[in-house]
Structure 1
Amino acid sequence: MSAAGEARRIELHLLGQTLTIRSEAPADYLRSLAKYLEERVTALKRSGVKDPTTALALAALDITDELFRAREDKSRDQGDVGARLGALVALL
């Protein structure tokens, strides 16, 4: 068993291949990420994308888009909260 914070080897199964990676993250967490990616790729294949590499690239772009939009939303929300707090302080 590895110590906390120490990278260890973890096998992931993705798109019919076994990937061995080194990570400090919990194995179950990494497996859930691989499962999520596989589900996204499978959905793209069902929609007509035949090439696995193309499906993987499209899934990665889609997930990256979601990440960037979430970051933008968070940044905008933080700005809104700051503006509201400033307005409240001005009222005091």
Structure 2
Amino acid sequence: VLVIPDASADPRFENNPLVTGGPGIRFYAGVPLRFAGELTVGTLCVLDTRPRQVSETELAHLRDLARIVEREMLHRSLAIDSGGAVQQAEQGA
């Protein structure tokens, strides 16, 4: 998990246009999303326009949510690989 309590005070991000201009990001916390545990395909993140701290419990919740997203990506992939069941189900809805 990458946590940046105040992006404007972090040398890695202080000059980023998303920090210096709109939307004025200050807080960032992100968990990598891995497909089938191997390939990183993105990040589940939370942002705020105010600096903040997060508790270990909140970080655990963010990690749990990321694992749920990973499982959903895997289920969709398996359904598509087995004949497009997800596409068929979405079209029927």
Shorter-chain TM-score bucket reads 0.3 to 0.5
Per the normalisation by structure 1, the TM-score is 0.42
Per the normalisation by structure 2, the TM-score is 0.42
Q: Going by fraction, where is helix more abundant, 1 or 2? A: 1
Q: Going by fraction, where is strand more abundant, 1 or 2? A: 2
> Highest Rg: 1 or 2?
1
